[in-house]
Structure 1
Amino acid sequence: MSEPLRVDRRPDRVVATLDRPEKRNAIDQETIDALHALCAELEADPRTLILTGAGGTFAAGADIAQLRDRGADDARRAINTAAFIRVAELPMPVIAALDGYVLGGGAELAYAADLRIGTPSLRMGNPETGLGIMAAAGATWRLPEIVGAARAADLLLTGRILDADDALSWGLVSAIHPSEKLLDAAHTIADRIALNDPLATRHTKRALRAPRSEHPQIEKHLQAELFESPEKTRRMTEFLERGARR
């Protein structure tokens, strides 16, 4: 039996591919278990994470066959929510490379990423209400933060699906790339991240994810740590020396 999440580990990044193409990469319990295991690894050894999907689809939703059999106790356990929160809170950036269908639980996993890019075939949205449930794994609070309250309400209450142009104009993705170049584009972003100081990147992500009530205090504490960092001194000295040589 194949693994639902195929993982390619590199020194400065990890590429995780949702790999259930026969189910259009629908997110089932085994996928959630694999995401938890991967998060545990990246919490212990922080690296940039690239999330993508096999077979021209990111994830067409949660596994409906499993969802149909879940009851109230399962809802209260927040099975998908817990995994997606963990993805969002990883120390280093998460890049979602989105091709084809990104629906329901698949969209909510994508919303948990820090950066999202797509392809012309992107179809993104939350049709849950048409199935008698709601988007309850992050969409109701992450979407307003990403696209604003009015557009989040439009998407979640109508259940409509956005194409690539709308997803780009709404800010759900930051760029559109040809399908065959999508992963290369994600690696280009990861390459840019890798050039920077990892601790400064982690602190920047932490501040970005902090609630409004923690600002500006959180920046003061994080910046104070960075100001005492040997890496800050090294990088700034190199910058000044390059300028002196011009």
Structure 2
Amino acid sequence: MSELTTVHIADHADRVVVTLDRPAQRNAINVEMIGELHRVCERLEREPKLLLLTGRGEHFAGGADIGQLRERNRDDALAGINRNLFDRIARLSLPTVAAVSGYALGGGAELAYACDMRIATTTAKFGNPEPGLGIMAAAGASYRLPQLVGASVAKQVLLGGRVLDADAALATGLVMQVTDPDTQVDAAHRVLDRIARSAPLALRLTKTIVDAPGFHPFADDIAQAVLFGTDDKHTRMTAFLEKKA
């Protein structure tokens, strides 16, 4: 992953840590960052690993780059530039965790929503002020945020301009944990450590089933049947029983 200018990549045996790296611009998401995050997704699709996503400095991501956004036209909107990336992140086969401090606004909030879990510091603020700029939150917030916090709170954010601080984000279930400043990445690693102890195929199938729309008992049965036939299941259950004995 050479020649990256807007994100920093740190490789670990079982995970990749991606840091948005435009701190002077509050890690605003520009077209270059979109392209580089697509490269990250391409790699994780080819070689699945857990993903930890965070921002350098005080803020996760203060939104999309307004200078670039102002110049986008109808065809750009129809191309779904940001939405396609965030949907791609949401489709990654293994769990993803966003470690959020400071602003996660606009596109930055939608990027956090696309992750499976969120850890926030006491300074975190989630919001979607797009209507104030004459546009809407069209990169996933309209369908992800209601699933995460319910339609009522989502409308308060998307229509009413409500900004969810860390306490509100925790109370609504948007984040799983609130930490002190500068400890969110360590907390996210602890979550990923726990996840990494699980069977990779079980994680992949569980995420696929949970994200699938509607009521799907037969899909659950089929996925479970696949897992019942794995050596990993037999080895793990045998180890559990032997330890218990």
For the criterion TM > 0.5, the same-fold answer is: yes
| Alignment of 1:237 onto 2:215 | no
| Alignment of 1:84 onto 2:86 | yes
**Aligned AA for 2:224?**
Q
Aligned partner (choices 134, 140, 143) of residue 142 of structure 2:
140
**Aligned AA for 1:191?**
D
**Aligned AA for 1:105?**
G
Aligned partner (choices 163, 166, 178) of residue 164 of structure 1:
166
* Cα-to-partner distance string for 1:94-152 (whole Å, 9 max, x where unaligned): 10000000000000000001000100111111000000000000000001100111111
Distance 1:41 1:2 in 2: 14
Distance 1:217 1:179 in 2: 44
**Aligned AA for 1:239?**
F
Shift of 1:7: 0.6
| Alignment of 1:211 onto 2:213 | yes
Shift of 1:2: 6.5
SS at the partner of 2:10? strand
| Alignment of 1:10 onto 2:12 | yes
Distance 1:52 1:143 in 2: 19
Distance 2:85 2:237 in 1: 38
Aligned residue for 1:37? 39
Shift of 1:35: 0.9
SS at the partner of 1:179? coil
SS at the partner of 2:159? helix
- Aligned ranges 1:66-81 → 2 under 5 Å: 66-81=68-83
Distance 2:149 2:218 in 1: 26
TM-score (norm: length of structure 2): 0.97
Percent identity between matched residues is: 53
Aligned residue for 1:191? 193
Aligned partner (choices 102, 116, 119) of residue 118 of structure 2:
116
Shift of 1:160: 2.2
Distance 2:114 2:100 in 1: 13
Aligned partner (choices 131, 134, 139) of residue 133 of structure 2:
131
Aligned residue for 1:225? 226
Distance 1:2 1:95 in 2: 21
**Aligned AA for 2:77?**
A
Distance 2:4 2:92 in 1: 26
**Aligned AA for 2:241?**
L
Distance 1:180 1:160 in 2: 25
SS at the partner of 1:212? coil
Structure 2: state its 5+ residue gaps: none
Distance 1:103 1:174 in 2: 18
Shift of 1:170: 1.3
Distance 2:212 2:218 in 1: 10
SS at the partner of 1:224? helix
Question: Retained in 1: the 8 A contact 2:4–2:36?
Answer: no
Shift of 1:200: 0.6
Structure 1 ranges of 4+ moved more than 2 A: none
Aligned residue for 1:179? 181
- How many residues are paired up? 243
SS at the partner of 1:96? strand
Distance 1:217 1:108 in 2: 32
Distance 2:218 2:17 in 1: 34
SS at the partner of 1:8? strand
Aligned residue for 2:99? 97
